[in-house]
Structure 1
Amino acid sequence: MVNTVTQTVKGGPAGKQSRLRSLAEWLGRNWPGLTACAVAVPAAFALHLLMPAVPVMTLAVIMGVLAANLPGISRLTVGPWRKGLDFAGKRLMRAGIVLLGLKLSVVDVLELGWATFAVIVAVVLLAFGGTYLLGKAFRLPGDQPLLIATGFSICGASAIGAMSAVRRSKQQDTVIPVALVTLCGTLAIAVLPLLMQPLGLGPLAFGQWVGASVHDVGQVVATAQTAGTAALAVAIVIKLTRVLTLAPMVAVTGIISRRGHKGTAGSEHLKLPPIVPAFILGFVALVAVRSLLPVPEGVLEAATIVQDVLLAAALFGLGSAVRMRELFSSRGSAVLMALCSWALIAGLAYGGILLLQ
């Protein structure tokens, strides 16, 4: 009898009303921030059309940072917009990472050859380890050293979002790395093409260098295209090969995090972090789909547009939590550390490219 009543409440009119009430409450909390994202994303795309050299994702982060620091608007980002912006920064980021899997084909990676693949993996691991140690040396708090290392060595803000999910990082530990990876990626767009001739790099070698060193996919495209289509093609393949390392890196971190939680006193009733989050499994599944099945070009183009919209909204949300005073606190130690890491990764990638010549 009790079970029947329970089922009636859950599945009957009372249950439906409860779900509708919950949905209304959710919309009430989140719609202001999501509306701000809905305005910011088209604006970022429009600015990209006016300034093609600047990626949409970079513009989205910059707009978020401006919103967080401009008088008047900044009050909204910490007030009525905050819930929706946080939802975008977390949930929409994960959805965008899943769709990123459709850009990756294992076949393209294998065509690079084992020597190139080994060099790329070595650069990722050395860049990750070196950046993490730099973060510790600069005494950055919390998970910031880990998240900056992940973003700089793998695939920018997307990697930061994935790693922060498995680590369950604090929001402040996430937004600062996103701002830093955007800053250094933007610098790469301007600086690396100027170094092409002094370093004696032809278009192919320049594309390899960009793909192995620049953080975000959009930033790679903006930087490599300055040297022509051949440089752009190889840069994208190498960059996406780096993205493939995201799943195993997150899995290893998940295992370590679970062991740490198990070793904590009184953690018997504590929910352990997942070894691999569900959205990373979705990412791997779409990599498999792209690698094994002939995905229509129209589907890939549509998925790319949806992914860009989701990630732009997520990055606007994350950027809106960045306070410039906090970013440059402690005499700008986080910014200085990020610049050191940027130079380290560029140097490692350049050395790797020389090995392949």
Structure 2
Amino acid sequence: MRPRPSVPWLPGVAVAAVAAAAAWGVHWLVPAVPLLTAAVVLGIVVGQVPAARPALNGVLGPGLSLSAKRLMRIGVVLLGLKLSLGDIAGLGWVTIATTVGIVLLSFAGTFWIGRLFRLPGHQPLLLATGFSICGASAIGAMSGVVKPKDEEAATPVALVTLCGTLAIFVLPLLWHPLGLSAVQFGHWVGAGVHDVGQVVATAQLAGPAALAVAVVVKLTRVLMLAPVVAVAAVVERRRHVAGDPTVKRPPIVPLFVAGFIAAVLVRSFVPLPPVVLDAADTLQTVVLAMALFGLGTAVRLRSLLGTGWRALATGLLSWALIAALALGAVWIS
């Protein structure tokens, strides 16, 4: 009988770290592939290998679970250091208002579509969060509040990765036919693509001005993560009270959400040296890559393809909805 490791989470975390390094290698060789997208895809691929499943469910399980949950929350907190309230204010009130409107409408629309297709458990909520705000990172943040089953979180992560990757190739093909300028294209990408890395990979094709606008608009959407997750936490808390008052209730504002808000305020009002920001950005990328690899290993494509057509339809419809709303916001602005 193989002895159990003295630190049960260490093997899984070590494998997640190796996978993050491998994802960085893929991104270095093919810059068009965002590092975090590569990490999710790598996790999904590993999760389909029958020979790997005993280890994934056994000795690697605790570490992969820790990576997918706790490291994800750390990454979300560090994501706040990318946000400056001053940069967001520089967009102007029309762009800010339309961006907030896109998040709210796409969230409500995706949630409604998910319920219409009768997706199980928390999948409608997780899909709505991931597609409307910031991809797999948002799904991880919401998972920290509603505590879904692993497969409930894995399917939305796979779908948001699929649709975000498609956007890297599809949106540039529509740039000129839609008559958009480079800056308008950047605005469209920032308002309509899910993950920050996917936004960068798509918008950079139109030049630095488009990329700058895309990133600021995208990070404005990321700022909506805190209130959306906080509201979900309040609803979940009330549900626990109504169900069984003796069950431990989730906090009104999860600790990592408070940390995210604090990081945004620090970035906005404290003059941090560039070296600190660079180090935080690198750490955030590493921990999110490890977390997304862990989430990816829980995806079972056979199950997704066999019974997940409703989730796939929800994801594709949500993708089209967000792209249309974002394009409308560009024309309004």
Question: 1:83, 1:292 → 2: CA distance?
Answer: 38
Question: 1:337, 1:26 → 2: CA distance?
Answer: 41
Q: Deviations over 1:54-93 (max 9, x none)?
A: 1010000011011110231233212221111111000110
Runs of 4+ aligned structure 1 residues displaced above 6 Å come to none
Note if 1:66 corresponds to 2:29: no
TM-score (norm 2): 0.97
* Bigger Rg, structure 1 or 2: 1
Contact 1:168–1:273, Cα closer than 8 Å, also in 2: no
Note if 1:336 corresponds to 2:306: no
Question: 1:116, 1:325 → 2: CA distance?
Answer: 42
Alignment of 1:298-309 (within 5 A): 298-309=275-286
Question: 1:345, 1:162 → 2: CA distance?
Answer: 20
User: 2:17: which partner in 1?
Assistant: 38
Letter in structure 2 aligned against 1:313: M
Note if 1:319 corresponds to 2:259: no
Contact 2:230–2:257, Cα closer than 8 Å, also in 1: no
Note if 1:353 corresponds to 2:330: yes
Q: Deviations over 1:229-272 (max 9, x none)?
A: 110000000000000111111111111111111111xx121111
Contact 1:166–1:275, Cα closer than 8 Å, also in 2: no
Aligned length: 331
User: 1:115: which partner in 2?
Assistant: 94
Letter in structure 1 aligned against 2:278: E
TM-score (norm 1): 0.90
Question: 2:178, 2:5 → 1: CA distance?
Answer: 54
Structure 2 stretches lacking a partner, 5+ long? none
Q: Could you say what secondary structure the match of 1:29 adopts?
A: coil
Letter in structure 2 aligned against 1:330: T
Q: Could you say what secondary structure the match of 2:321 adopts?
A: helix
Task: Report the alpha carbon displacement of residue 329 of structure 1 after superposing the two structures with TM.
Answer: 2.7
**Percent of aligned positions that are identical:** 56
Q: Deviations over 1:253-298 (max 9, x none)?
A: 111111111111xx12111111211011111101000000111111
Note if 1:245 corresponds to 2:224: yes
Contact 2:107–2:129, Cα closer than 8 Å, also in 1: yes
Note if 1:289 corresponds to 2:288: no
Q: Could you say what secondary structure the match of 2:118 adopts?
A: coil
Contact 1:253–1:275, Cα closer than 8 Å, also in 2: no
Contact 1:166–1:276, Cα closer than 8 Å, also in 2: no
Task: Report the alpha carbon displacement of residue 331 of structure 1 after superposing the two structures with TM.
Answer: 5.8
Structure 1 stretches lacking a partner, 5+ long? 1-24
Note if 1:225 corresponds to 2:204: yes
Letter in structure 2 aligned against 1:260: R
Letter in structure 1 aligned against 2:70: R
**Superposition RMSD on alpha carbons, in Å?**
1.3
Question: 1:268, 1:345 → 2: CA distance?
Answer: 39
Contact 2:68–2:290, Cα closer than 8 Å, also in 1: yes
